[in-house]
Amino acid sequence: MAYIKINQDKVNQSNVKALIDLCPFNAFDYIDAYLSINAACKMCKLCITKGPEGVCEWVETRKPEIDKSAYRGWVVLIEHHDGIIHPVGFELIGKARELAAKTDEPVMALLLGHQVREMAAELLTYGVDAVHVYDDPRLEPFNVEIHTRLVESFFKQRQVNIILVGGTTLGRTFAPRIAARLKTGLTADCTMLDVTKEGDLLQIRPAFGGNIMAKIHTPAHRPQLATIRYKMFERPTFSTPSGKIIVESMPEVDWSTGIKRLSIKPKPAVGDIADADVIIAVGRAFKTKKDLALIEPLQKRLDAMVACTRPLIENGWFDPRRQIGLSGRTVKPRLIINLGISGAVQYIEGMKGAELIISVNTDPDNKLFDISHYAIVGDVYEVLPALNRLLDDLVEEQT
């Protein structure tokens, strides 16, 4: 990389005026006797070649170089609550195994907590080469400061190549601290992963509001760190355990913390659309909240959960946990029926993994139709009653 450096000791009123007049992009700011370059700069170097001598200087920066062979292995940080492993951990193990096979690297799980041996044995059945366990009463409940120090200690000892973290509420708190502590980057909310033959992780995520998909490549830093949402990858099947459980000795870490737990207030239990087998998703085609009653017969027939798009959350019609999309939940049901949904990229990314997709919309060019198995061009106010009658007729025929 390179940048234009301004030598402030050579700046004076006359050459400031000369540079401002010279630059075709208005990229110079002179405030409080300090000359700076703003975001309008196009790096054309005109200020260096034609400007006052010595004021502006072209500086080349060298990319850091690392010995990639010194870092080896994938590690998945395992989240657990009340003795139950969050299923995103299993999904990440499956993806890590798939990609690690390309570079012949081991896949490990990192489990921190107290009395976690039973969970460690369960992880072995998903094909990891090793489960590294830190077991100590002081690790319960989860404390992001202490857990971060342990992950730092683990990395310094094991020198792993890649760390994967579930994109849960806890993971989104945990991963940035790990990145800061290890002085590495973090790609959040990845939707796809790949790896090069050199062991560089290719992290793919939506950017600019979901309008483009960015591929992030970090060849000069280790470890490589990413968070991935629940339901983005397939959960692997059980396999005969061949790995081993490694109980790590507790390192010399700072156990002090500025976090004090005052109380725990559990949220009321709500069905999670991420676990639903059948989903009916509704969008802005519904003009009023009471019109949602139109989907009730279909919902009961299919034993479906109802989900929605972001505008209906903003209208106050649904709990935010019912939203599908990049700013909501990612789902992979056996069946999803999209009713009156515009087909924005953000929504499609959240549900494109469904096994069977049926979409209803008045726009024949709706983007959802490109990924749907069945597309119905029509008004939901006309299509829904027809679907309900069709189901009634089918039930009568079967009886």
pLDDT, one tens digit per residue, over 140-197 is 999 999 999 999 999 999 999 999 999 999 999 999 999 999 999 999 999 899 999 9
Q: For residue 186, what is the DSSP state?
A: -
Q: Is the pLDDT of residue 139 over 70?
A: yes
Over residues 383-392, mean pLDDT: 88
* Three-point CA angle 169, 269, 117, nearest 5°: 60
Average pLDDT across the chain, whole number: 93
Q: Is the pLDDT of residue 75 over 90?
A: yes
Instruction: Using alpha carbons, select from 131, 154, 132, 164 the residue that is nearest to residue 242.
Output: 131
Q: What is the pLDDT of residues 13-29, one digit of tens each?
A: 899 999 999 999 999 99
306, 322 in Cβ contact below 8 A? yes
Give the sheet arrangement for strand 305-308, strand by strand. 305-308, 278-282, 335-339, 356-361, 374-377
pTM: 0.79
- Is 1's pLDDT higher than 80? no
- Which range (6-10, 83-87, 200-204, 249-253) has the least confidence? 249-253
SS3 per-residue string spanning 256-270: CCCCCCCCCCCCCCC
Give the rounded percent of residues in the chain with a pLDDT score beyond 70.
99
Quick one: pLDDT band at residue 396, thresholds 50, 70, 90? confident
Can you give the pLDDT at residue 392? 81
Residue type, 193: L
- In percent, the amount of the chain with pLDDT more than 90 equals 81
Measured CA to CA in angstroms, residue 250 lies from 132, 163, 176, 243 at distances of 12, 20, 23, 22
Going by their DSSP bridges, the two strands 201-207 and 192-195 should be labelled as antiparallel
> The dihedral of CA 84, 86, 89, 91: what is its sign?
positive
Position 208 scores a pLDDT of: 73
Mean pLDDT, residues 49-53 taken together: 94
Q: How far is it, in rounded angstroms, from Cα 142 to Cα 308?
A: 32
Q: Write down the pLDDT at residue 212.
A: 78
Pick from 29, 244, 6: which is nearest to 127 by CA?
Answer: 244
Q: What is the pLDDT of residue 399?
A: 64
Using the predicted structure, report yes or no on whether residue 232 has a pLDDT greater than 70. Answer: yes
- 3-class DSSP state of 31: strand
Sequence-ordered list of residues with C-beta below 8 angstroms from that of 297, at least 6 positions apart, any chain: 388, 391
Looking at the predicted structure, is the pLDDT value of residue 355 above 70? yes
Query: If pLDDT is split at 50, 70 and 90, which confidence band does 210 have?
Result: low
Write down all domains in the chain, each with its CATH number in brackets: 2-60 (3.30.70.20), 68-247 (3.40.50.620), 273-398 (3.40.50.1220)
What tens digit of pLDDT does each residue of 268-310 get?
Answer: 776 789 999 999 999 999 999 999 999 999 999 999 999 999 9
In the block, tokens 């390309």 appear at: 102
What's the confidence (pLDDT) of residue 266?
Answer: 80
* C-alpha to C-alpha distances, 360 to 232, 272, 303, 367, nearest whole angstrom: 25, 24, 19, 11
For 306, half-sphere exposure in the C-beta direction (CA atoms, 13 angstrom radius) is: 18
The answer to whether 91 touches 55, Cβ cutoff 8 Å, is no
Q: Check whether 211 has a pLDDT greater than 80.
A: no
Residue 50 pLDDT grade (very low, low, confident, very high; cuts 50, 70, 90)? very high
How far, in Å, CA of 129 to CA of 100, rounded? 11
User: What average pLDDT does this structure show over 115-123?
Assistant: 95
- Cβ partners under 8 Å of residue 98, min gap 6: none
Mean pLDDT across 234-249: 91
Element (H, E) at 396: helix 380-398
Q: How many CB atoms lie within 10 A of CB 37?
A: 19
Taking the CB of residue 276, how many other CB atoms lie within 10 A of it? 21
